A and B are shown apart, each in its own frame.
Chain A
Amino acid sequence: EAQVTQNPRYLITVTGKKLTVTCSQNMNHEYMSWYRQDPGLGLRQIYYSMNVEVTDKGDVPEGYKVSRKEKRNFPLILESPSPNQTSLYFCASSLDRMVDEQFFGPGTRLTVL
C-alpha cells in the first residue's frame, strides 16, 4: 500500500531532551516536507527536500533540523525541544514538484513539558 508513515504517533517529552520523528514513504517520491499544525494557524512548512541531500528552509525552521540521506526517509530532529514546539506534525511527499498532490502521513502529536 502506498503510504507515508511517521513514528512515533504520540510523544511527550521534556524541555531540552533531543528527539527525532521519523518519516518514510514507499512511493519513490522526490519531494518531501515537514509541517506543523497549530490551532488557528493552519499548516506551516518547517523544511522541505527536493531530492536526496537537498534540503531547504520553509516558513518556520527555527529549532528544527532535517536530513535526507536516502530518498525514502526524511527525519525531523529537535536538538533541544522547547514548549513552543508542542504541536501536531505532518510529513508529506509528492512525486516531484509542489504542484503534484501531496501525500500526508498520519501525524505526530508532540508535547514538550
Chain B
Amino acid sequence: SQELEQSPQSLIVQEGKNLTINCTSSKTLYGLYWYKQKYGEGLIFLMMLQKGGEEKSHEKITAKLDEKKQQSSLHITASQPSHAGIYLCGADRNAGNNRKLIWGLGTSLAVNP
C-alpha cells in the first residue's frame, strides 16, 4: 500500500536556524498537503501542492513538490519558537471522488530560544 515517509522524525534547532523536513512516497502523489499540529490539538493547514515542480511560500515557510510528484520538502527559514510543533504531510490516495488523505508519521520540531 502507498506509504508516506517523513524525515527526520524529530528535530531540535536553535532559534534563527533554517531547517528542512522531507516527505517521500513510493508512488506518484495526486496532491500533497502540509499541516501543523500542536501537541494534542488539531491539524492546521499550511500548504497544498498539486503540480510537479510546484513551490509555495507563506511567511517563512516554503514547500516544494518534485517534478515526479513523489517527494516534498518543507523549509523553514530563520526558525522561531512559534514554529514548534508536529509537521505532518498528507497525500491524496487517489484521484477519484473520495480523495481521503494518507499520512506520514510526522516530524516533531522544537525551537530553542
Q: Do A and B come from one complex?
A: no
Residues of A in contact with B (beta carbons under 8 Å apart):
none
Residues of B in contact with A (beta carbons under 8 Å apart):
none
